């Protein structure tokens, strides 16, 4: 059964086949959706996204998420290509300049922090506000952004991205209220397990906290493919009344205090 048959969307953030957004695009296509793909102009120059565009029969439209003009153009072109308003949007965008430059949490550069917040969190508000003003999302549409549990619990090397994700989740709640009231559009964040992607592996000590989370979670870490399936369910009509939520998709990690595997590894 194709649960997204007839639905139109926009998918941000497919950089390469490891990207969570890449898997989401493949699953949305397999489930009957049509969509446009978007990424920053610099990412498009790498060219890999064109392979995905071919296999999913989608158009690629460049958009630097920090620029309102790019966002407007993306929504306008997407509606032209898809033949009307969209039903779903995936925001799968994240980047920390301070992490990239190896700056520790107690020595952050504020200009870089502003850019990190702009790319990774304010872009979500910008997307929603632009869509709101252009009336670009159909009634009962669904918007999902990807987040991480460092918004609630401390993971020291996740640094400013933790604060960014807290802001992102707050935007989902606040805008979810307004868009829900006005258009029945639902807005949620998915809090995903550590996943081996370009953004993920850029965090110091990623390998260790990937293994730690896997050992802590009763179901093990959720893969990018599992995340894609969850996104499809949230874009479908089967989750119509779910909005303003931060949804943990982490094999049970968020509610586990300690696991037998971790106790054994500590040699007690
Ligand atoms: N990988 C993980 O462990 C993990 C866990 C939880 C949440 N997430 C979140 O999932 C989302 C997707 O990341 P991913 O892990 O698939 O890595 P990824 O590196 O494949 O994706 C990040 C994307 O952000 C895009 N991007 C960066 N700056 C941009 C800009 N200015 N304009 C437009 N796009 C821009 C990149 O080009 C890239 O496609 C991010 O929000 C990330 O924080 C990842």
Q: Is 65 in the pocket of ligand 1 (CB under 6 A)?
A: yes
Q: Are strands 59-62 and 86-91 parallel, antiparallel or unpaired?
A: unpaired
Token couple for 61: 């439209």
User: DSSP for 27-95?
Assistant: HHHHTT-EEEEEE-HHHHTT-THHHHHHHHT-EEEE--TT-HHHHHHHHHHHHHHHTS-EEEEEE----
Give the best-scoring range by mean pLDDT among 155-159, 203-207, 231-235.
Answer: 231-235
**Residue whose CA lies nearest to ligand 1 atom number 26:** 93
Ligand 1, residue 13: give the atom nearest the CA.
Answer: 39
How far is ligand 1, taken at its centre, from the CA of residue 199, in Å? 5
Mutate to test the pocket of ligand 1, among 200, 214, 225, 254 (most ligand atoms within 8 A of CB): 200
Check pocket membership of 94 for ligand 1, CB cut-off 6 A: yes
Q: Is the CB of 221 under 6 A from ligand 1?
A: no
Tokens coding 51: 């392979």
- pLDDT at position 268, please? 61
Mean pLDDT of the chain: 97
Cα of 94 to ligand 1 centre, how many Å? Answer: 4
**pTM for this entry:** 0.98
Does position 59 have pLDDT exceeding 70, yes or no? yes
Work out the pLDDT band at 103, boundaries 50, 70, 90. very high
How far apart are the CA of 264 and the centre of ligand 1, in A?
34
Q: How far is the CA of 254 from the centre of ligand 1 (A)?
A: 21
Portion of the chain with pLDDT greater than 70, in percent: 100
Identify any residues that bridge with 97 across adjacent strands, giving them in sequence order: none
Domains of the chain: 8-265 (3.40.50.720)
Tokens of 122: 């304010």
CA of 55 to the centre of ligand 1 (A): 21
Q: How far is the CA of 93 from the centre of ligand 1 (A)?
A: 4
Q: Please write the tens of the pLDDT for every residue from 118-153.
A: 999 999 999 999 999 999 999 999 999 999 999 999
Q: Which atom of ligand 1 is nearest to the CA of 193?
A: 5
Q: Taking residues 48-61, what's their average pLDDT?
A: 97
- Cβ of 11 below 6 Å from ligand 1: no
Residues 6+ apart with CB under 8 A from 13: 19, 20, 21, 39, 90, 91, 92, 93, 94
Asked whether 214 lines ligand 1 (CB < 6 A), one says no
Q: 5-8 — which CB contacts under 8 Å span 24+ positions?
A: 5/31, 5/32, 5/33, 6/32, 7/32, 7/33, 7/34, 7/87, 7/88, 7/235, 7/236, 8/33, 8/34, 8/35, 8/82, 8/83, 8/84, 8/85, 8/86, 8/87, 8/88
Q: What is the per-residue pLDDT for 98?
A: 97
């Amino acid at each position: 059964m194709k649960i997204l048959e007839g639905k139109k969307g926009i998918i941000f953030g497919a950089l390469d086949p490891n990207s969570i957004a890449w898997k989401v695009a493949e699953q949305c296509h397999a489930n009957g959706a049509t969509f446009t793909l978007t990424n920053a102009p610099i990412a498009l120059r790498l060219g890999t996204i064109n392979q995905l565009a071919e296999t999913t029969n989608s158009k690629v439209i460049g958009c630097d998420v920090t620029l309102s003009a790019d966002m407007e153009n993306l929504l306008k072109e997407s509606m032209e290509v898809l033949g009307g308003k969209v039903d779903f949007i995936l925001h799968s965008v994240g980047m920390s300049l301070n992490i990239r430059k190896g700056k520790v949490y107690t020595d952050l550069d504020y200009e870089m922090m502003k850019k990190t917040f702009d790319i990774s969190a304010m872009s979500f508000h910008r997307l929603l506000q632009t869509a709101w003003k252009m009336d670009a999302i159909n009634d009962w549409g669904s918007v999902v952004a990807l987040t991480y549990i460092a918004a609630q619990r401390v993971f020291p090397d996740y640094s400013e991205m933790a604060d960014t994700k807290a802001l992102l989740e707050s935007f989902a709640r606040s805008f979810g209220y307004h868009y829900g009231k006005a258009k029945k559009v639902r807005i949620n964040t998915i809090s995903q397990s550590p996943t081996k992607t370009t953004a993920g592996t850029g965090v110091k000590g990623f390998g260790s906290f990937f293994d730690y989370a896997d050992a802590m979670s009763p179901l093990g870490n959720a893969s990018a493919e599992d995340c894609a399936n969850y996104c499809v369910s949230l874009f479908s009509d089967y989750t119509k009344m779910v909005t303003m939520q931060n949804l943990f998709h982490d094999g049970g990690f968020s509610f586990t205090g300690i696991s037998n595997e971790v106790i054994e590894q500590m040699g007690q």
